[in-house]
Structure 1
Amino acid sequence: MLSKEARKALKGWESDGSGIIKASFKIKKKGITLNTIQCYPPTNDNNEDDQSYERLQSIIAKCSIKDLTILMGDLNAKVGMDNTGYEDIMGRHGLRERNENGDRFANLCASNKEVIGGTTFPHKRKATWLSPDHTTENQVDHLCINKNFRRSMGNVRTRRGADITLDHHLIVATTIKLKLKKQWTAGETALQGFDTAFLRNPDKINDVKIALSNSYQALQDLPKEKEATRGKSCKRRKYETTISYNEETGREIW
């Protein structure tokens, strides 16, 4: 599900049909795309896990290194507290020991310079999964951001008590500093802005007044029988007024 703002910024999406989906969004920062990759490896079978990580790597590889890429999901990967050899992509605020899937995930993040957010912020409650008998907790869900944008992520934490009928807790990035930008499609036109700073010049003000007066005087001179066409004439005059404004200011029309 996407908000109205996110729908307008959506550039495209793709899925490999096996628990991995990627969506790309246009953001305000020029030349940079926001890629969000949601993944859910389906089993604990070693062969299938290897294949799942290979598919995940192929999706990540399609993202430009200059883009902001967020990787998140239930990886069933315990990365632990020991970040020896992985200092660039994880902190020491993980939970317990690393498992085999944790090794796979840490290596994937290291290869793609994805920082594991849940290990970099000190929180008392780190577990994202609770066993059915409520006796075992693990940190197996993760939210990562590529290293170039590490400072854009203000905090990552779990949210307990969400009514989602699962044995997992929500994991959220409470602050990510970015702004989405509308992705214009064929047939849509952006609102035209005008530079009004030139109006501080009295001569320019007079030129614009004359241009406006000439444009709208023609509307007043329309015969009564042509009242029905006045609406079309108004649209035409609006266009001509814009042309006059651009001519006076030297602004290019585009």
Structure 2
Amino acid sequence: MPRRAREKSETGIYHIMIRGANRQEIFHDDEDRLRFLETLGRIKITSEVKVYGWCLMNNHVHLLLEEANEDISITMKRLGVSFVWYYNQKYKTTGHLFQDRFKSENVESDKYLLTIIRYIHQNPVKAHLVKRVEQWRWSSCPGYYGGKVYPENLLDNDVILKMFSKDANEAREKFKQFNEQESNDSCLDDIINEKVKLSDEEARLEILKVIDGIEIAQVKSFPKKERDRVLQKIKGIEKITQRQAARILGVSPNLIFKA
């Protein structure tokens, strides 16, 4: 059955998510994350795409892009091909790294543009990887707060900041307040996650991938510090609830919540 053509955004702006095949990790260390951002930076120059935001998680990536002199599908294909080549060379692997083609949603209003950038920046907080949005090194958030991002010219934050004020300092402060508001925004990956629920057996297999060589039954007997480190990794797995993880591990949901 042929794929449906991707619906074009009237503004040219897209919220894009790329995910590891079978939900595998895309990034194993900082070198991988830096290489992805460098690749995006190079493609930005040739395609003239505007990069309004990003967030690199372990097994998926959020991007907020505006296409320019080429279709967004072409830009994403070149990004994917280049990074997969690097990944396969480094880890001596072959085959697919990313899951199918990238997922996207059109951003047709300023209001939704702001919703998306906040949603992207809050991903690591909601995954319990950091307590504050600016603490996640691998998102565009520091660049909106006046800090540095890598590569230096990757982020195009003027469009969004000017929605808050023409004065740069005032714009950053107002954006910060907006960006850190508690929200229940439901965007692209939440819609996808609602469609795909993991059974306990599937969840168990995902947990085994994350704990890497550790028996599930051993986790609850670990010393607190080591146990919390393992539980924090498990909490980052998508489509597994803390209650489900607790059931599989044989621990209380509260223990996972506090980790």
- Give the TM interval when normalised to the shorter protein: under 0.3
**TM-score normalised by the chain length of structure 2:** 0.23
| Structure with the larger strand share | 1
| Structure with the larger helix share | 2
**TM-score normalised by the chain length of structure 1:** 0.23
Q: Highest relative contact order (Cα 8 Å, sep 6+), 1 or 2?
A: 2
